[in-house]
Structure 1
Amino acid sequence: MGWITRFLTAVAFLAVGIIFSPESFGSKSDGHFPSNLSTYLKLAHLLCFSTAWGAALWVTFIGGIIMFKNLPRHQFGNLQSKMFPAYFSMVGVCCAISVASFGYLHPWKSSSTVDKYQLVFLLSAFLFNLTNLFVFTPMTVGMMKERHKIEREENIGEEVGWSKNREAAKVNPKLAAMNKKFGMIHGLSSLANIMSFGCLALHSWYLAGKIDL
């Protein structure tokens, strides 16, 4: 299925959802915002939050682990170098829209303490993703390419896992130093990603308390 077909399918389902929404059958506004504006902002917030949450869950705990365990290391690294900028960009945009819509629906001066905390959580998730996108990911990709070059000189990198790298690093100080530097930056990137995921998790608990099923 091509991208255009997927996009049109998503738009079609969204249109059907709007047609059968409560507002279409005469529900009134809550008194704070025009009914349509309030609904559209809530929809934007929900769709963008759920997209960011789902992407973070998959990349952090499922997709990345599966790829690492089943792909040659150099192939895995090259794939990650293409995937992570797109991942952090998408999650960052989704977080930005979530922050904007939530902030508009809950103005800071008139919001409760709970709502203010939620805005801080969403803003933190956005900032953690920006840090990864513009700071840690470029550094990680650059060091990865340098390490790949050293590993190719040692005729390693096509294995699955880390065993050959660790063995080669024991007799190659340059590779050992690169491993240490790469591990530090990659660890900071992973920490920022986990912190972003945690902030989104906290907001999911807030949304669950608001849903009337």
Structure 2
Amino acid sequence: MATEGEPGGFVKMVHLFLLSTAWGMQLWVTFIAGFVLFRGVSRHTFGLVQSKLFPFYFYTLLGCTFLNLAIFATYHPWELLSARETIQIVLFFTCLILTAANASWFSRTTTKTMFKMQEIEREHGLGAEVGMLAHREAYQRLKEKDAKYRSLRQRFFTFHGLSSLCNLASVVCTGVNLVCLALQLDSL
């Protein structure tokens, strides 16, 4: 049941903690960890780390977003929402749906496809190089001569692109909600 009125200090603290945890995690995983790993470890190691990191990341983000939506909806009855509050609740819900799609489908499909690609790459002595530019021609030749690999690459990049798009949209949703919350602070 929706509760109108001011939440207590503990509820405000939990809401801010969850929102800032989600935001910080999104920024770190999206813009820092991936680029550092990409430049510092082999392609196959990078894929393995991502396959372990992403489920934890998406499910933690899903939990934070669900709890943020629940807290926000509890203290903002639907019939009393202002325009800003309507935008916020829609953004929380959008982030929840996009993260659920990533956690349950896009990320899993991308990872399964990546592992199949890695099997073929290992058969051709590829995957131990660091960075994307190393042995680029060898990957191109493999793609041209192996139809199964070409199909897997296409599937991988399709689902990876959808996953990345959902993740970036979630980052924006969380960021806007954080800005809205910050603008409501009376003082620092």
TM-score, length-scaled by structure 2: 0.90
1:171 corresponds, among 141, 145, 157, to 145
Provide the rounded CA distance (Å) in 1 between the counterparts of 2:8 and 2:86: 19
Q: Which structure has the larger Rg over C-alpha atoms? A: 1
Residue 34 of structure 2 corresponds to 64
Residue 98 of structure 2 corresponds to 128
Provide the rounded CA distance (Å) in 1 between the counterparts of 2:167 and 2:5: 35
Q: What's the CA shift for 1:91?
A: 0.6
1:208 corresponds, among 174, 182, 186, to 182
What SS does the corresponding residue of 1:161 show, helix, strand or coil? Answer: coil
The aligned amino acid for 2:121 is E
What SS does the corresponding residue of 1:170 show, helix, strand or coil? Answer: helix
> Which of structure 1's runs of 4+ aligned residues deviate more than 6 A?
none
Provide the rounded CA distance (Å) in 2 between the counterparts of 1:43 and 1:103: 16
Provide the rounded CA distance (Å) in 1 between the counterparts of 2:55 and 2:163: 12
Is 2:80 the partner of 1:107?
no
Unaligned runs of 5+ in 2: none
Q: What's the CA shift for 1:40?
A: 2.0
Q: What's the CA shift for 1:131?
A: 0.5
2:5 corresponds, among 32, 35, 43, to 32
Relative contact order: is structure 1 or structure 2 higher (C-alpha 8 Å, sep ≥ 6)? 2
Q: Give the aligned length.
A: 180
| Alpha carbons 1:41, 1:105 under 8 Å: kept | no
Provide the rounded CA distance (Å) in 2 between the counterparts of 1:32 and 1:171: 65
Q: What's the CA shift for 1:105?
A: 1.4
Provide the rounded CA distance (Å) in 2 between the counterparts of 1:79 and 1:138: 14
Q: Deviations over 1:7-39 (max 9, x none)?
A: xxxxxxxxxxxxxxxxxxxxxxxx935xxx522
Provide the rounded CA distance (Å) in 2 between the counterparts of 1:110 and 1:40: 23
Q: Deviations over 1:46-90 (max 9, x none)?
A: 100000000000111111111111110001101110100000010
Provide the rounded CA distance (Å) in 1 between the counterparts of 2:180 and 2:52: 33
The aligned amino acid for 2:5 is H
What SS does the corresponding residue of 2:186 show, helix, strand or coil? Answer: coil
Provide the rounded CA distance (Å) in 1 between the counterparts of 2:63 and 2:9: 20
| Alpha carbons 1:129, 1:192 under 8 Å: kept | yes
Is 2:162 the partner of 1:188?
yes
The aligned amino acid for 1:208 is A
| Alpha carbons 1:69, 1:161 under 8 Å: kept | yes
1:198 corresponds, among 161, 172, 175, to 172
Provide the rounded CA distance (Å) in 1 between the counterparts of 2:140 and 2:168: 26
Provide the rounded CA distance (Å) in 2 between the counterparts of 1:106 and 1:179: 46
Residue 46 of structure 1 corresponds to 16
The aligned amino acid for 2:139 is N
Q: What's the CA shift for 1:166?
A: 2.9
| Alpha carbons 1:157, 1:165 under 8 Å: kept | no
Identical aligned residues as a percent: 34
Provide the rounded CA distance (Å) in 1 between the counterparts of 2:35 and 2:49: 13
Unaligned runs of 5+ in 1: 1-30
